[in-house]
Structure 1
Amino acid sequence: MSEYLPDPRLAQSTLPLYDPVKAADFPQTILRYRNDRAAASAGLDTLTDEAWTSHFGRFRPLPDNQPEPLALRYHGHQFRHYNPDLGDGRGFLFAQLRDDQGRLLDLGTKGSGQTPWSRGGDGRLTLKGGVREVLATAMLEALGVPTSKSFSLIETGEALHRGDEPSPTRSAVLTRLSHSHLRFGTFERLAWLNDADTMRGLCDFIIANYHPTAQDIPGLFDAVVSANAKLAARWMAAGFIHGVLNTDNMSMTGESFDYGPYRFLPWYQPGFTAAYFDHAGLYAYARQPDTVLWNLGQLGRSLTLITDSEPLVAAFNTCPERYDAEFALAVCARLNILPLTDNQPLLTSLFPLLSSLAYDGSFEGLFYDWFGGKLSHNRAMASPRAEHYTGEAFTTFRTALEAYETADPAKLDHPRFKKPNPETLLIDEIETIWADIAERDDWSAFYAKLDAIETWRRALNL
């Protein structure tokens, strides 16, 4: 059992990066989800439901932690248009604490009320949005993507009106556990203000708490480039589309967070978009690595306020190479095979095969069937998808796969791999889960899905 170790570093830093705020006073606090596995890593799993709801529904301060919530200040590029009117508009930093590995973690919120940065919004979160985020983070963690963890979901008893979904709809407040909520947009704001002193202090803070191997500001940028190249590669290997890859949704620690209109690919579609308002397909599945690169460019440009550009450009230029290397590792991890010195034949055979498998569930199905590489040949050829494993594209892929050894054969002994199909989180599944909640207040499918994803996580062990 881990010890609760409060460590409100940002509040103690005196850096002008936040505004003290008060949480909304909700009519109700109905606990719908608590992540006891994440809570155990931070010494909070022994809280009673009553105490949990008090802290994460009423936001009574945790012992020896921040005395009040802090709404973070930031700007950002939204669909590549600069917006200086951002900041935590419906969330705040509630607490900071150490986990069982000694890492500094944030407990941040979504839907916790209005702040100075709400821009006329109500500061609330729909219950459906909370349900979707809990499911997203669980699945992404199972698939090996660095992600925030949904820590708590509490229904709050308000009727919300939204223009893009049936209204009125139910409300909730979400608490997420994340390595950090400091964003690229935090630096963009300081550059916009020409506040070099605060930016230097922020760099020192991030180096000390999140990237301790960085020796200086260029070293910090290099570490952030590396972390986000890995994140982009893991998204792509998971078939995940974030939907809104604005610079204010990019973390200095390389964690995925803030899930709005996300999707998982039903099959390989390079132009697939998650956000209905992304009319130009700027954040389409296949454009995500380039988007991360562009966003890193905005961070690097901000840092030129306090350091020379030459080492920043040098680190920035390594991003495509780092992404390629990380993507190869991510694909090998998803296939449970040991990477080779040259993985290009496998990677170049993968996409033509995925392109030929244009049916629901085929993206995840391929990785499931061939999890273990050539060792899974008989299992794959007995799967419901076996009839599609034929033709030139498949032969090329299968030949490339022959060169690889299975990374962990014991994983195939997990009972989950006896089932014919992989675990998925496609949009129709999410809508069915939500319909049960919205129409009958039936949460059984939601909890069953989370149990199934947890079994999936243990089986994959990525």
Structure 2
Amino acid sequence: MEKVAPPAPVLQQSYARALPELSVPWRADAPPRPEIVWLNEPLAAELGFDAAWLRGEDGLALLTGQIDGTTAQAYAGHQFGSPNPQLGDGRAVLLGDLVDTRGRHRDLHLKGSGRTPFARGGDGKAPLGPMLREAVLGEWLHATGVPTSRALAVLSTGEQIAPRQGVTAEPGALLVRVAASHLRVGTFEYATWHLDEEVRRRLVEFTIRRHHPSADGPLGLLEAVTRTQAELVARWMLLGFVHGVMNTDNMALSGQGIDYGPCAVLDVHRRDAVFSSIDRGARYAYGKQPGIALWNLSRFAETLLPLLDEADPNVAVEQATAVLEQYEGWYQQAWTRQMARKLGISGDVEGVSALGQELLVLLEEQQVDHTGFFRALGEGRAAELVAGDSFAQWARRWEARRSATPAEMACVNPLYIPRNVRLEAALRSAHLGDLGPVRELLAAVSAPFTRRAGLEHLEGPGDGGENFLTFCGT
């Protein structure tokens, strides 16, 4: 008997129903010759989709946005510190939302789908390379335990689009992104700058229901968002991840990472690492990310002030400030807890923060590969990478506290990461029609802790990674 695929989940339009002021109905452009380049079958199953159905006619209509009810979302933001009163989904649409097989609310969002009323120039299309980049980064972060948006699929459109860099046209592509939601700090900024208090209160209520149901009102929401951001950025820092463009419109209130455009991962550990071609002032350098997160949270707090205490603005400021002042402590707790895991220290973690910070200074002084060192530490090879009496003394103190076995440490410290030059080489191959290297890299970073034969070339940094630049193509 032929197997019958289960019915596809029905997408809802919860956001547009609850907050029609923050989106406009909009349909994606119909691509001329859409073809699935990569389908995330495990994620599809989580969402309740049958992979064969997604590859069929109805599935392709969904993945290309040729369905009813789609919307373009409005938001604002501070970009590189300067306010922009209207940004929004300039080349993207929200397909809808669903509850997945584990009871989690998820958004489906389509990028590269043509101009919308929020477009700020260009054709609204996206090239294949940046769409694949976001897929690779999302799968790696997810596999390492970082809360993140992910790609359900990348599709080619059959178009050649105007180049973002260089002089040759690029193959057009679509990214179908899955996120807990697309509510951002910039969403609240838009509501504050353009809409009335009643809408802002509905936005607070919707955000609490969606992401932080135990939060008590606007102040509780600020605390919940601050805690989740402290946890997220601490995890980024210990992985050596550099987001590259931490504008307020790229900070999701769910606590997930989102919008992986000019992002990269450290090779040599250095606090001033910048890989984004548009971050000319190094505002979003690796070592500045914790402070930038707090800056963004302060902008979020400002949008909530009129809702905290209508009678006395000073009281509202005091309440918000009291929450924000706890960010550093929450960040340090999260960082120390995760550093202890990377170092294989369990139980009492007192002193781990100092031990970890001392280690990072040594890594930077000796220009040691961030990911390679932590992997080597668990495998007993760290002395091959770091020399001198200072490290020998550090290693003795670390060894006295270590409780994890090498195998346990290998389950925390990744071996495979999206190395800058490796990823860029794979994306160039995809541009030329060879998807093999991208598929290989996706397979590696989706199971980043387990060494596999034939992938030795993906273990190290390669040449040229320190001078690498990424471009904002997503």
* Contact 1:87–1:117 under 8 Å retained in 2: yes
C-alpha separation between the residues in 2 aligned to 1:312 and 1:5? 39
Q: Which of 313, 316, 324 lines up with 2:324 in the alignment?
A: 316
* Contact 2:416–2:448 under 8 Å retained in 1: yes
C-alpha separation between the residues in 2 aligned to 1:215 and 1:47? 43
Match of 1:451 in 2: 443
| 2:50 counterpart of 1:45 | yes
User: What's the RMSD between the two structures over aligned residues?
Assistant: 2.4
* Contact 2:64–2:110 under 8 Å retained in 1: no
Q: How does 1:411-422 map to 2 (within 5 A)?
A: 411=408, 422=415
C-alpha separation between the residues in 1 aligned to 2:161 and 2:353? 50
Q: How does 1:10-49 map to 2 (within 5 A)?
A: 10-48=15-53, 49=55
Q: Which of 347, 350, 372 lines up with 2:356 in the alignment?
A: 347
SS across alignment from 2:427: helix
SS across alignment from 1:191: helix
* Contact 2:271–2:286 under 8 Å retained in 1: yes
Match of 1:392 in 2: 389
User: Which whole-Å deviations, capped at 9, do the CAs of 1:281-330 have from their partners, x for residues lacking one?
Assistant: 10000011111100000000111121123221111111111111111122
Q: How does 1:182-197 map to 2 (within 5 A)?
A: 182-193=183-194, 195-197=196-198
User: Which whole-Å deviations, capped at 9, do the CAs of 1:84-112 have from their partners, x for residues lacking one?
Assistant: 13111011211101123312111112101
SS across alignment from 1:304: helix
Compute the displacement of 1:396 (Å).
3.7
C-alpha separation between the residues in 2 aligned to 1:156 and 1:274? 29
| 2:60 counterpart of 1:54 | yes
Q: How does 1:87-98 map to 2 (within 5 A)?
A: 87-98=88-99
Cα gap change, 1:199 to 1:22, in 2 (>3 Å): same
Compute the displacement of 1:349 (Å).
2.0
Q: How does 1:155-234 map to 2 (within 5 A)?
A: 155-193=156-194, 195-234=196-235
Cα gap change, 1:128 to 1:325, in 2 (>3 Å): same
* Contact 1:15–1:201 under 8 Å retained in 2: no
* Contact 1:207–1:220 under 8 Å retained in 2: yes
SS across alignment from 1:380: coil
C-alpha separation between the residues in 1 aligned to 2:392 and 2:140? 30
* Contact 2:65–2:110 under 8 Å retained in 1: no
Match of 2:371 in 1: 364
User: Which whole-Å deviations, capped at 9, do the CAs of 1:255-303 have from their partners, x for residues lacking one?
Assistant: 1111111110111111111211211110000011111100000000111
SS across alignment from 2:151: strand
* Contact 1:182–1:252 under 8 Å retained in 2: yes
SS across alignment from 2:56: helix
* Contact 1:262–1:275 under 8 Å retained in 2: yes
Cα gap change, 1:339 to 1:319, in 2 (>3 Å): farther
Cα gap change, 1:166 to 1:326, in 2 (>3 Å): farther
Which range moves more in the overlay, 253-262 or 138-147? Answer: 138-147
* Contact 1:89–1:121 under 8 Å retained in 2: no
Among all aligned residue pairs of Structure 1 and Structure 2, give the percentage whose two residues are the same amino acid.
31
Cα gap change, 1:259 to 1:337, in 2 (>3 Å): same
* Contact 2:375–2:410 under 8 Å retained in 1: no
Which range moves more in the overlay, 156-165 or 194-203? Answer: 156-165
C-alpha separation between the residues in 1 aligned to 2:99 and 2:29? 27
Which range moves more in the overlay, 262-271 or 92-101? Answer: 92-101
Compute the displacement of 1:37 (Å).
1.1
Which range moves more in the overlay, 270-279 or 340-349? Answer: 340-349
* Contact 1:2–1:100 under 8 Å retained in 2: no
C-alpha separation between the residues in 2 aligned to 1:52 and 1:404? 57
C-alpha separation between the residues in 2 aligned to 1:331 and 1:5? 42
C-alpha separation between the residues in 2 aligned to 1:58 and 1:194? 32
| 2:132 counterpart of 1:131 | yes
Q: Which AA in structure 1 matches 2:15?
A: L
Q: Which AA in structure 2 matches 1:267?
A: V
C-alpha separation between the residues in 1 aligned to 2:203 and 2:361? 45
C-alpha separation between the residues in 1 aligned to 2:270 and 2:224? 31
| 2:322 counterpart of 1:325 | no
SS across alignment from 1:286: helix
C-alpha separation between the residues in 1 aligned to 2:148 and 2:47? 16
Match of 2:243 in 1: 242
Compute the displacement of 1:52 (Å).
6.7
C-alpha separation between the residues in 2 aligned to 1:348 and 1:132? 31
C-alpha separation between the residues in 2 aligned to 1:316 and 1:98? 32
Structure 1 unaligned regions, length at least 5: 62-66, 371-375
C-alpha separation between the residues in 1 aligned to 2:61 and 2:74? 23
C-alpha separation between the residues in 1 aligned to 2:22 and 2:450? 39
* Contact 1:338–1:407 under 8 Å retained in 2: yes
Cα gap change, 1:396 to 1:345, in 2 (>3 Å): farther
Compute the displacement of 1:4 (Å).
3.8
C-alpha separation between the residues in 1 aligned to 2:262 and 2:87? 19
C-alpha separation between the residues in 2 aligned to 1:431 and 1:453? 15
* Contact 1:7–1:98 under 8 Å retained in 2: no
Compute the displacement of 1:413 (Å).
8.3
C-alpha separation between the residues in 1 aligned to 2:404 and 2:15? 41
C-alpha separation between the residues in 2 aligned to 1:358 and 1:150? 33
C-alpha separation between the residues in 2 aligned to 1:10 and 1:458? 40
C-alpha separation between the residues in 1 aligned to 2:434 and 2:58? 22
* Contact 1:24–1:113 under 8 Å retained in 2: yes
C-alpha separation between the residues in 1 aligned to 2:149 and 2:77? 20
SS across alignment from 1:306: helix
* Contact 1:194–1:305 under 8 Å retained in 2: no
Cα gap change, 1:339 to 1:229, in 2 (>3 Å): farther
* Contact 2:138–2:149 under 8 Å retained in 1: yes
* Contact 2:344–2:403 under 8 Å retained in 1: yes
Cα gap change, 1:24 to 1:356, in 2 (>3 Å): same
Cα gap change, 1:304 to 1:272, in 2 (>3 Å): same
C-alpha separation between the residues in 2 aligned to 1:111 and 1:457? 32
SS across alignment from 1:92: strand
C-alpha separation between the residues in 2 aligned to 1:183 and 1:405? 40
